[in-house]
């Protein structure tokens, strides 16, 4: 086991990992004292390997949840069956790496380079607990899991990822040209501006996925499921009518019902409005409405019914969401900084709590938000 911690089950210390990585870098640079690093089956959870050269390193079935690999070089590395949930791989390179059966749930892969990486089905060691604590010789076939991962502007050109799980992942402006993605799941994923040209997505699922500005030239999508997707807007003839209705509603709220008119916006697509900044829309009834990408900064939405609404990538900074019903709403990638989420006190002392039960809040900006009195 010279220069490695092969088959070690107890967690490695930061000093141990630093020494092993240092010796590996000397090997890569053809310097004296170099030794190849092997981290197969090791426990590296929460350690810092940022900006390290880890080319050709074996991480098979390693436990790496929460590890910091920002800017690391992992080209041709073997991560088969490893667990990297919530790991930071921002700007890391994993070109032609073996990522079969890897778990990257909620990991940050923004701007990472996975050119021609293999994210296909792998054999993962079976265990009663963590994936790394497996019984020798017992394996379970599993697919790569990137649920909720941030792949914004990542380079996945030419990857092999059949049956991979990208549910709820951020793939904004991601390069997926010529990728093999048959039978993969992109439900609730945000693929705005992604390049899927010449990719194969046969029998893939895109339920409620965002496909705004997505490049699909030459892709093969036979038998793929496109259900309730958020696609490019047609020339919206009703945009003026929608804006007039919202402005009338705002007038009705501001005047206490003296002027304006009440309208409901259940399942309405409001994207053509562009900005609802600072509008008074208290008690707005818009369950299932699509607000994707809208500017709602400073909007007054206290007591609004937004159950199941699509608020992904909206700008809600400083908005009033007191007592808002956001059950099962999609808020992934939204800017919620400074939002008011405390209970709404109604006439007669009745308390209405902000309801976030079932809502998804992946990769949100939440600085200055108090969730302590919300329903979750």
To which residue do tokens 């707005």 refer?
284
Asked if residue 243 is part of any domain, the answer here is yes
pLDDT of residue 113 exceeding 70, the answer is: yes
Calculate mean pLDDT across residues 270-280: 90
Asked if residue 27 is part of any domain, the answer here is no
Asked if residue 286 is part of any domain, the answer here is yes
* Range picked from 2-16, 119-133, 147-161 for highest mean pLDDT: 147-161
Asked if residue 54 is part of any domain, the answer here is no
- The boundaries of the domain holding residue 301 are 236-376
Q: What digits encode the pLDDT tens for the residues 56-70?
A: 999 999 999 999 999
Q: Are 360 and 330 in contact (CB under 8 A)?
A: yes
> What is the per-residue pLDDT for 138?
62
Asked if residue 10 is part of any domain, the answer here is no
Q: Are 346 and 316 in contact (CB under 8 A)?
A: no
> What is the per-residue pLDDT for 205?
98
pLDDT of residue 311 exceeding 50, the answer is: yes
Q: What digits encode the pLDDT tens for the residues 8-26?
A: 457 999 999 999 999 999 9
pLDDT of residue 1 exceeding 80, the answer is: no
> What is the per-residue pLDDT for 124?
67
Per-position DSSP letters for 64-131, written without gaps between them:
-TT-B-TT-B-TT-B-TT-B-TT-B-TT-B-TT-B-TT-B-TT-B-TT-B-TT-B-S-EEEEP-SSST
> What is the per-residue pLDDT for 20?
97
Asked if residue 183 is part of any domain, the answer here is no
To which residue do tokens 């049956």 refer?
163
> What is the per-residue pLDDT for 136?
55
Give the Cα separation of 345 and 210 in Å (integer): 36
Nearest to 255 by CA among 280, 276, 277: 280
> What is the per-residue pLDDT for 137?
56
Calculate mean pLDDT across residues 37-51: 97
> What is the per-residue pLDDT for 139?
64
Could you give the percent of the chain with pLDDT greater than 90? 82
> What is the per-residue pLDDT for 274?
80
Calculate mean pLDDT across residues 316-345: 96
> What is the per-residue pLDDT for 196?
98
Joined tokens for residue 207:
């339920």
> What is the per-residue pLDDT for 242?
86
Q: What digits encode the pLDDT tens for the residues 216-260?
A: 999 999 999 999 999 998 755 577 888 889 889 989 988 888 888
Count of other CB atoms within 10 angstroms of residue 141: 10
Structure pTM? 0.90
CATH code: domain of residue 256: 2.160.20.80
Asked if residue 341 is part of any domain, the answer here is yes
pLDDT of residue 163 exceeding 60, the answer is: yes
Q: What digits encode the pLDDT tens for the residues 314-328?
A: 999 999 999 999 999
Query: Hey, is 243 helix, strand or coil?
Result: helix
Joined tokens for residue 33:
């004292």
Give the Cα separation of 123 and 143 in Å (integer): 9
- Give the chain's length: 376
pLDDT, mean over the chain: 92
Asked if residue 166 is part of any domain, the answer here is no
> What is the per-residue pLDDT for 128?
37
Joined tokens for residue 307:
């159950």
Report how many domains make up the chain. Answer: 1
Q: What digits encode the pLDDT tens for the residues 356-373?
A: 999 999 999 999 999 999
């Amino acid at each position: 086991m010279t220069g490695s911690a092969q088959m070690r089950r107890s967690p490695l210390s930061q000093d141990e990992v630093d020494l092993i990585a240092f010796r590996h870098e000397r090997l890569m640079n053809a310097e004296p004292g170099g030794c190849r690093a092997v981290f197969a089956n090791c426990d590296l959870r929460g350690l810092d390997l940022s900006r390290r050269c880890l080319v050709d390193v074996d991480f098979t079935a390693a436990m790496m949840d929460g590890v910091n690999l920002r800017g690391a070089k992992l080209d041709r590395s073997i991560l088969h069956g490893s667990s990297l949930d919530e790991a930071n791989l921002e700007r890391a390179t994993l070109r032609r790496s073996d990522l079969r059966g890897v778990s990257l749930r909620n990991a940050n892969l923004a701007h990472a380079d996975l050119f021609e990486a293999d994210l296909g089905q792998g054999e993962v060691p079976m265990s009663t607990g963590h994936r790394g604590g497996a019984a020798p010789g017992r394996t379970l076939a599993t697919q790569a899991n990137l649920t909720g991962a941030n792949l914004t502007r990542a380079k996945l050109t030419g990857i092999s990822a059949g049956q991979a799980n990208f549910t709820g992942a951020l793939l904004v402006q991601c390069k997926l040209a010529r990728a093999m993605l048959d039978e993969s799941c992109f439900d609730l994923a945000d693929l705005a501006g992604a390049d899927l040209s010449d990719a194969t997505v046969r029998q893939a699922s895109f339920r409620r996925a965002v496909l705004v500005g997505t490049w699909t030239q030459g892709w093969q999508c036979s038998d793929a499921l496109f259900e309730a997707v958020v696609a490019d807007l047609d020339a919206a003839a009703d945009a003026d009518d929608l804006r007039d209705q919202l402005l009338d509603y705002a007038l009705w709220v501001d005047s206490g019902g003296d002027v304006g008119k009440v309208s409901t916006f259940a399942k309405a697509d409001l994207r053509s409005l562009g900005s609802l900044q600072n509008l008074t829309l208290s008690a707005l009834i818009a369950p299932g409405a699509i607000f994707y990408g809208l500017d709602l900064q400073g909007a007054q939405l206290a007591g609004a019914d937004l159950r199941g609404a699509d608020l992904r990538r909206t700008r809600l900074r400083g908005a009033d969401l007191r007592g808002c019903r956001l059950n099962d709403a999609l808020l992934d990638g939204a800017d919620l900084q400074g939002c008011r989420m405390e209970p709404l006190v109604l006439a007669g002392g009745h308390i209405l709590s902000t309801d976030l039960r079932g809502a998804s809040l992946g990769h949100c900006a939440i600085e200055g938000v108090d969730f302590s009195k919300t329903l979750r």
